[in-house]
A = this chain, B = another copy of it.
Amino acid sequence: MRTISTCLSPELIHLHDTKGKIVVVVDIFRASSTMVTALSNGVSCIVPVEDLEQCRAYKNEGWKIAGERNGQQAEGFDLGNSPLAYSDGQLAGEKIAMTTTNGTRAISLVQNEASEVLIGAFLNINALINYLKEIQNDVLVFCAGWKGKFNIEDALFAGALSLGLGWEHDCDATMAMEAVFQQAGRDLEFFLQKASHAKRLQNYELEKDIAFCLGLNQYDTIVFLEEGLLKIK
């Protein structure tokens, strides 16, 4: 019988066995939401890279480069980490090299051991649930957090995904996040007003990004990692 567990921070990933598991990497504000949006709007592939220098090197190879640090677009980069910049189809056919504060690091931490790495967002949560129900592997939801700390929006996603799957598990983190999601109710944006990362983004006037990232099931796509590249299945 398959089961689900949740890792609440990159600092805890060493406590989890990722081998043979499908790892769903989540960074709701905003990397995973942006990845799902970009690929759902025609971007041909995304290479997640860990640092800004490595990302810049792709520029001369004909890639667009997307760089974010501490919530803001990095200097000299074509794109930042706002999903809205990727949602209008203008980047259709482009290849994008992307580095973010938390999300791309999380991917790099699990890509060697996992049977498959998927990118999770509220934007495609139902598609993900349906996909996972067809697969036989156990699932680990890996919350990217904020510089190692627990982030409530990523954890809420874990709860929502687990409730959607309805599998038995004995993971305390998953159990807690199911309760948080149930307590949050239907208005995630209202619930998250007090959350630390939402507040940070509000300071940068990114309220539109927040609302967008919390939109359920805008896309029917599954984003996965194949030989280091994020693509749509």
Residues of A within 8 A of B (CB): 8-9, 11-12, 15, 147-152, 155, 170-173, 175-177, 179-180, 182-184, 194-197, 199
Contact = CB atoms under 8 A, between A and B. Distances in A.
Given A11-B11, A155-B176, A171 B196 contact: yes
A12 B172 contact: no
A172 B196 CA distance: 6
Nearest to A178: B183
Nearest to A154: B172
Q: Across chains A and B, which 3 residue pairs bring their CB atoms closest together, nearest first?
A: A179-B183, A152-B172, A183-B183
B149 A176 contact: no
Nearest to A151: B172
Contacts of A175: 152, 194-195
A12 B15 CA distance: 12
Contacts of A171: 196
A200 to B, nearest CB: 9
B184 A172 contact: no
Contact of A170 (B15, B148, B176, B194): B194
A139 to B, nearest CB: 17
A127 to B, nearest CB: 26
B149 A12 contact: yes
A180 to B, nearest CB: 4
A5 B176 CA distance: 17
A166 B15 CA distance: 33
Nearest to A145: B172
A19 to B, nearest CB: 17
A108 to B, nearest CB: 19
A197 B176 CA distance: 13
A180 B170 contact: no
A11 to B, nearest CB: 6
B148 A172 contact: no
B179 A195 contact: no
A148 B13 CA distance: 11
A172 B195 contact: yes
A152 B176 contact: yes
